[in-house]
Amino acid sequence: MKDDQLTPGRRKVLRAAAALGLAATAGCAGADPSAAPGPTAPSGAAAAGPPAARALKPSAYRLQPMAGHGPPRAPRALPRVRKAPILRLDRRDRSMVLTFDDGPDPRYTPAILRTLREYDVRAMFFVCGEMAADSPDLLREMADDGHLIGNHTWNHPLLPKLSRAATRRQIESTCDVIEHLTGEPPAWFRAPYGAWNRNAFQLGAEYGMEPLAWTVDTLDWTEPGAKAIVRRVYAGAAPGVVVLSHDAGGDRSGTVDALRTYLPDLLASGYRITVPNRYTT
């Protein structure tokens, strides 16, 4: 059976989920709803990104044809449960990772994708499920260009304020929309605002994802203008550095313009823009 043919059982699940206003089950590697709950101690919160919590809404993407899927894959090995997110790659060569959060946004993401394509580099996009469902073509474009698509929850809540069940819904629904649009479940998770807690680490691992934070915050969400963003990238540039920017959540024209400046400069000064491999960071 091809993945894009729904079984009666799955149709039922999807209908039930749609009725609840949630995205459904099946999707992320290794999801095990029977896992024991754990405490929810916050472990440090950084205020990155604008507030964006909105009510969950039914997912329009479910009414559209699913992306072409290949043959069933073998289940992935699950990552271990970490106590802190990965902040940088363990690299001594001049390689850096560029990450863009909160999108996709049709106003800014296409320009970022164009610039990345122009210089033939791969980046990471930590998308919100709600935004992905609204712009399925942009998600497919990211995947087609070889970028890594990470899970940034459904609608950007502060996870330490959520129950474990609500955190699971945020993570699972976003895994689900990413896998259905691109054919691949996400391998990376990033908590909104950098606000991680034990549930985020445990559920992220349960759904087959490694937690990635960042080394350099461009603070682009404060809309400081392209020059300030470029300055922060140059100041932080070093081997293994992970750079945080945003392609949604406000006026991101500064982020778009900054990338056009610092990307060619970084490449000209010998940096390689890369994406991480799971388990080998």
Residues that bind Zn ion (CB under 5 A): 49, 101-102, 192
Token pair, residue 110, equals 């296409």
Closer to Zn ion by CB, 27 or 49: give it: 49
101 among known catalytic residues: yes
Closer to Zn ion by CB, 128 or 273: give it: 128
One of 3, 101, 217, 220 is an active-site residue; which one? 101
Least CB distance from residue 69 to Zn ion, whole Å? Answer: 28
32 among known catalytic residues: no
Closer to Zn ion by CB, 218 or 271: give it: 218
Q: Given the structure tokens 């909105």, which residue do they identify?
A: 54
Question: CA 281 to CA 240: how far, in whole Å?
Answer: 9
| Amino acid letter for position 50 | P
Question: CA 17 to CA 248: how far, in whole Å?
Answer: 27
Least CB distance from residue 155 to Zn ion, whole Å? Answer: 11
One of 156, 220, 246, 247 is an active-site residue; which one? 246
Closer to Zn ion by CB, 3 or 254: give it: 254
Least CB distance from residue 217 to Zn ion, whole Å? Answer: 11
**DSSP for 157-221, written as a single string:** --GGGS-HHHHHHHHHHHHHHHHHHHSS--SEE--GGG--BHHHHHHHHHTT-EEB--SEE--GG
Question: CA 168 to CA 129: how far, in whole Å?
Answer: 13
Least CB distance from residue 88 to Zn ion, whole Å? Answer: 18
Contact call for residues 246 and 252 (beta carbons, < 8 A): yes
- Residues acting as catalytic residues: 101, 246
